[in-house]
Chains A and B, each alone.
Chain A
Amino acid sequence: MATFGRAVGVTPRPGFWGYLWSWLTTVDHKRIGIMYGATTLAYLLIGGLEALLIRLQLAHAESRLLDPDTYNQVFTMHGLTMIFLVVMGFNSTLFNLVVPLQIGARDVAYPRLNAFSYWMFLFGSILLNLGWLWGQAPDVGWFGYAPLTGVKANPGLGPDFYVMGLQALGVSSVAAGLNFVATIINLRAPGMSLFKMPVFSWMALLTSFLMIFALPVLAIGLIEVMFDRLFGTNFFNPEAGANPLLWQHLFWIFGHPEVYILVLPAMGVISEVLPVFSRKPLFGYPFVVLSGVFIAFLSYGVWAHHMFAVGLGPLANTVFGITTMLIGIPTGVKIFNWLATLWRGELKFKTPMLFALAFIAVFTVGGISGVMHATVPSDYQQTDTYFIVAHFHYVVAGIVFAVFAGVYYWWPKYTGRLLDEGLGKLHFWLFFLGFNLTFGPMHLLGLWGMPRRQYTYPAGLGWDFLNAFQSAAAFLMALGTLVFVINAVKSLRSGAPAGDDPWDGRTLEWAIPSPPPAYNFAEIPVVRYRDELWARKYGPHGERAHAPGTSRRPLSGHNPGGGDGRASDNPGHTDGHGAHIHLPNPSYYPLIVAFGIALGMFGAVMLRPVEVGGLGPLGWALVGLGTLITVYGSYGWSFEPAG
């Protein structure tokens, strides 16, 4: 306890360990964003390999490549990985990398809480995947329907890793959501009213609200499953009179807002990329923003469209069918505003633009099939078939196009180097073709009756050719991703220097050096216009045809305090007027607290009996140890000077 209140690592330590330590204790949103990005990329490759395994298994009828148990684990983990670790991880990456720069802030409101969110994300993702070591990864689908998660139906450790892994990831998301709402509401640059805020930051705000209000519902559902499994409660036990449908309600009250947690940031990326590469302001900014708000609200009123076939009755089905179709309106408003942004623009088809346009196309296809099964009788035909698989891949896997649009767009800001355009276009076309050839035919297979989640199918039903075709096409996507990895490595080694503003950007992040200095802005800008940087370059009404020469723009003062601006986590830079810029101290407490919580949660998994691979009552020792570490870390955190 004597160490409480002592600042750590203020003097940089030399060598590799010092460098590693500086990352482990960092509270800089930029470094945290980079760690999120690296983790997300790793899981994109893992989730992609799982997808390839699924496609190999389904390439021909009666395949025995994977046994049914393994297949269940692989498709479950593919879904969980892609949703919770890849798309949500990527959202956190961009929130960290982009939001503080766009709103003209030096960091997020709570830098240590931000570091905690990352460590909790990392440990949660490990916990979710840890079941592989026991050969018992979660095998209940990403939705984990009760009573399949009950201890009778599923005595193994799979559901326990599911429950605890998602719970840990939920802690991370709620913490991140709280932090980013607080940041966006409270730390905008002077003059940046909400309706002068860039659309990506708007969507980050809405997503953060959805996270803090949706994940608690999942958390309670998971707690109920955990109690059923560990302590013999009856939440989902039909023998005691319980109704397992309760889980479906709780899960989808979380699960549908979750869909918008995934897609709203993607819509934000698109709303940034299209105006820049059309050299026009976003068409109908207030409509795009308010459509996002409307979508976020409505997302809480549509959950039962995942449950049309469980027998809620015609009244409930009709109401939820109508609310679901209503969501098509604000979504359509956004799509038409994006198209109007392109109209008569000076279009430049750089890689980010290609990915952005592809997102609009595939998302429209996914949106239309969504309206199709919002129609209840139509859904009766389509539910649990590959038609649904096609639909949600066009929506959720379609988000990956926005992911890549964002990566190609903001990469130069953080590396100072451009990605290769040729390789970028190759990546795009491989991925775009592979995507449509893989998921497009699934619509047909679904309408022909091929059920989802089955590990194989008999020959002679007319499904053989398309399945083989899709499996081959899936490798085009894998190849595209490989091209991206090569492009990334090449850019880091020898990419062309990007400069501060390679795309002739409109928003504040392009006004500062690439990569940004630790303090982001030497002077906090005063904002007067929606496209502030554009207005500074070309005048508020575009009256100047050319940006004012090569002279430094007002915000980009390099290293005003002297020294290397990238030696981040070092307090004591000075701004242009010689005043001190205080940066938060690095701290290892977020790492300790996250580790303690994750260890306690792992202990809860290990409470399961020895016969199935747990430790039995010995698990309490791990729970206790985790709790002690958490308490120690929390007190250290509370009494440490924040900087």
Chain B
Amino acid sequence: MAQVERAAEHYTSTGVHPSKLLMWLFLGSDCFFFGSLIATYQAYRGQSLVGPHPHEVFDIPYTSISAFVLLMSSLTMALAVNSIRLGKMGATRIWLLLTAMLGSVFVGGQVFEFTTFVHKGLTLGVNLFGTTFYVLTGFHGAHVTVGIIILLSLLFASFLGRLTPRQAMTVEVAGLYWHFVDIVWVVIFTVVYLLPY
């Protein structure tokens, strides 16, 4: 991620930076990963033979707050991209760190939520709801975690002098990934938590 590949400085047929093109293509591919999991969730919606059922475990206000935190991290991410474009490395570092922290709050919230649910009897294998819920939201949580690692790596690279305003594209591409993961959460939150069962 941190290194812009060779072809970057050279001619491209479309004028689009290769890293950006690759990330867009990857996100297109990732849509099909999430799409298949969401389709599985929907196919088994309300099909559980035994409880716990969604309304018995969900705490909508709690999850709304963590969703809000994740959405706010898109704002800080956009500010990080803007800062490095303007050449302000100090501000870039602050926004990167803040984005990673907001992401961590979200993942921490998810861990807490999972723990609570397990205490209420919703395990991976107890019913179809547990199976599909944990694998779908866990897959998303893993994406956020990878995003946090990327952001912290960028921060680390900036202290080593390996991330300078010349590599602004790298931050922008990481930002694309981050925004995508946020948008997917909007879909998952709506489908899993908000739509009535």
Contacts and interface: CB of A to CB of B under 8 A. Distances in A.
A-B interaction: yes
A227 B131 contact: yes
A474 interface: no
Contacts of B33: 216, 219-220
B29 A110 contact: no
Contact of B127 (A111, A212, A234): A234
Interface stretch (B37-45, B80-88, B176-184, B189-197): B37-45
A224 B40 contact: yes
Contact of A241 (B2, B125, B128): B128
Given A182-B21, A185-B13, A642-B5, A216 B153 contact: no
Interface residues on B, range: 35 or more
A425 interface: no
A241 B16 CA distance: 48
A642 B3 contact: yes
B162 interface: yes
- For the complex, would chain B's binding face be called helix, strand, loop or mixed by DSSP majority? helix
B18 interface: yes
Taking residues whose C-beta sits less than 8 angstroms from the other chain, chain A's interface range is 35 or more
B48 interface: yes
Contacts of B35: 216-217
Contacts of A5: 162
Contact of B22 (A110, A112, A217, A253): A110
B111 interface: no
Contacts of A635: 153
A240 B1 CA distance: 42
Contacts of B16: 185-186
B131 A234 contact: yes
B60 interface: no
A187 B25 contact: no
A267 interface: no
B135 A178 contact: no
A192 to B, nearest CB: 8
B30 to A, nearest CB: 7
Contacts, number: 127
Contact of B29 (A178, A188, A233): A178
A145 interface: no
B28 interface: yes
A489 interface: no
A517 interface: no
Contacts of A188: 13
A187 B12 contact: yes
B186 interface: no
A399 B4 CA distance: 38
B64 interface: no
Contacts of B14: 185-186
A299 B126 CA distance: 37
B115 interface: no
Contacts of A185: 13-14, 16, 21
A148 interface: no
A187 B153 CA distance: 29
Given A110-B22, A233-B124, A213 B32 contact: yes
A212 B21 CA distance: 14
Contacts of A221: 36
Interface in B145-197: 153, 157, 162
A638 B40 contact: no
A458 interface: no
B49 A240 contact: yes
A231 B18 contact: no
A190 interface: yes
A187 B48 contact: no
A584 interface: yes
A234 B25 contact: no
A235 interface: yes
Given A220-B36, A234-B131, A639-B157, A186 B25 contact: no
Contact of B7 (A109, A174, A192, A232): A109
A242 B2 CA distance: 43
A186 B21 contact: yes
Interface in A605-643: 635, 638-643
Interface string A441-464: 000000000000000000000000
Contacts of A233: 124-125, 130-131, 135
Given A186-B21, A241-B49, A635-B153, A640 B3 contact: yes
B5 A223 contact: no
Contacts of B116: none
A520 to B, nearest CB: 14
A246 B29 contact: no
A250 interface: yes
B30 A235 contact: no
A243 interface: yes
A243 B2 contact: no
B36 to A, nearest CB: 4
A406 B40 CA distance: 41
B36 A217 contact: yes
A109 B131 CA distance: 40
Contact of B6 (A111, A216, A242): A111
Contacts of B112: none
Contacts of A216: 29-30, 32-33, 35-36
Interface in B90-105: none
B7 to A, nearest CB: 6
Q: Which 7 A-B pairs have the closest CB atoms?
A: A220-B36, A216-B32, A232-B125, A233-B131, A212-B29, A186-B12, A216-B33
Given A185-B16, A219-B36, A241-B49, 20 more contacts: A5-B162, A179-B22, A181-B25, A182-B21, A187-B12, A188-B13, A190-B11, A216-B32, A216-B33, A216-B36, A220-B36, A220-B37, A241-B44, A242-B47, A242-B128, A250-B36, A582-B6, A638-B1, A642-B5, A643-B6
5 contacts: A110-B22, A186-B16, A212-B25, A216-B33, A220-B37
